[in-house]
Amino acid sequence: MSIMNIFTQDAFSVMRLTDALRDISYVPSRIGQMGLFQTTSIDTLDIAIEKDKAQNRILVQASPRGGPGQTFGRNQRSMRMLKVPHFQVDDAIYADEVQQVRAFGEEIAVERLQGKIADRAAEASQFFALTEEYHRINILKTGRLLDADGSVLFDYFSEFGEAQAAEIDFDLDNATPAEGVFRKKCASVIRQMAGILDGIPYVGVMALCGDAFFDDLIAHKEVRETYKGYADASTLRNAYVNAGTSGIYGSFEFGGITWANYRGGDNVGVDTNRCHLFPMGVPGLFRTVYGPADYIETVNTPGQRLYGKQWEMQNGKGVNLEFQMNALHYCTRPRVLIPGKRT
């Protein structure tokens, strides 16, 4: 049996390769583990987002009985079309890499090749996991979907006609802060967030912090005084690293805000002197949609997170491999993304 016949086994179909990708354990990611982005599969290449801009509320003036009343306008609706970006990694397995399978039966040969492809799929899945985390953290930081080179794919402030809030200076390097000033800033953030959301429900506010910001935050006089003498003081002592979470950096609550030290790496992270605040529990605030692959087999089918495909090289020297993701991450109300700085 030839190598090329082995590669045409059903074990190497688009469906089987895609399943293999799905079974891989992906790179741990803080945003992904939080479940912040609600995921949806679509069978098209773009999505339409309709925004209903509510008019300003008015006080109703008294009017004569039997006469005309006060009038008010209608809400204004706007539609935005967003195209799902395509991300692809190309690879190959050459004949020399699998020549030993010639001496074995078909089942052994297929198993050997599946193992090699699974190794390549595992590597590709790490690339895509890192890419997703990069996209999501940059949306939280800037309200923009950035490509790998830093170029802007979508600016959601522009798309939805909104402006980002001014950066908040928490003045954490102040050696002699005024009594209660930091707690007042926390309260101000919560009031600001509630005002931006208006009547939209939310369950709390979270801040993803860089290292220097988080270190000064834990060392801040108000924070330490609050936790002293309480049973939950261990929360502050253990805030640097959460045990049992693969080394993910810690978090704690103060002033009605959950402060989390974001562990970055590989060009994905938070500036050491900054934090990024956003509300938790807002319905449909952060979304991810997966579109179908650009294969005949997947036309008009619900998109999956990752796809894999193989086909024989024309010169007969091996098999081409392709792994792809068609994903759009977005924030429907980017005005709630509030940046902060240490000093």
User: Cα 41 vs. chain centroid, distance in angstroms?
Assistant: 16
Neighbours of 131 (CB within 10 A): 17
Query: Among 5-14, 60-69, 193-202, where is mean pLDDT lowest?
Result: 5-14
Average pLDDT over residues 99-126: 66
Average pLDDT over residues 140-154: 96
pLDDT of 220 reads 92
pLDDT at 24 over 60: no
Q: Are 293 and 89 in contact (CB under 8 A)?
A: no
- b/e sequence 181-200, b meaning 16+ C-beta within 10 Å: ebeebbeebbebbeebbeee
- b/e sequence 280-291, b meaning 16+ C-beta within 10 Å: eebeebbbbbbb
Extract the tokens encoding 9. Answer: 């086994």
pLDDT of 16 reads 59
d(CA 273, CA 339): 11
d(CA 249, CA 211): 10
pLDDT of 85 reads 95
Neighbours of 259 (CB within 10 A): 24
pLDDT confidence tier of residue 55, bands split at 50, 70 and 90: very low
Give me the residue spans of the domains in the chain. Answer: 3-51+80-152+286-331, 163-282+333-341
pLDDT of 28 reads 41
pLDDT in tens, 57-112: 556 667 787 778 766 555 556 678 899 999 999 998 887 776 654 434 445 555 56
pLDDT of 235 reads 59
Distances (CA, A) of 102 to 18, 112, 221, 305: 26, 11, 70, 34
Q: Which residues pair with 252 in a beta bridge?
A: 259
pLDDT of 1 reads 36
Torsional sign, CA 21, 27, 32, 35: positive
What integer best gives the mean pLDDT of the chain? 82
Q: Within the chain, where are the H helices? A: 3-7, 14-23, 30-34, 106-142, 156-159, 181-197, 211-219, 221-227, 233-237
pLDDT in tens, 275-318: 999 999 999 999 999 999 999 999 999 999 999 888 888 887 87
Radius of gyration of the chain (CA): 26
Give all strands (DSSP E) within 44-131, no chain letters.
46-53, 76-83, 86-94
pLDDT at 157 over 90: yes
Torsion of CA 155, 326, 336, 54, to 10 degrees: 80
pLDDT of 93 reads 83
d(CA 146, CA 135): 6
pTM: 0.81
- CATH assignment of 3-51+80-152+286-331? 3.15.30.10
pLDDT confidence tier of residue 2, bands split at 50, 70 and 90: very low
Extract the tokens encoding 300. Answer: 């008009």
Q: Token match 């994905």: residue?
A: 268
pLDDT confidence tier of residue 238, bands split at 50, 70 and 90: low
Average pLDDT over residues 131-141: 95
- CATH assignment of 163-282+333-341? 3.30.1930
Extract the tokens encoding 291. Answer: 């579109």
Through-space distance between the first and last CA atoms of the chain, rounded to whole angstroms: 69
* 3-51+80-152+286-331 and 163-282+333-341 agree in CATH topology: no
pLDDT at 3 over 60: no
Distances (CA, A) of 291 to 57, 89, 168: 39, 17, 37
Q: Token match 């007969």: residue?
A: 316
d(CA 326, CA 305): 7
Extract the tokens encoding 252. Answer: 């704690």
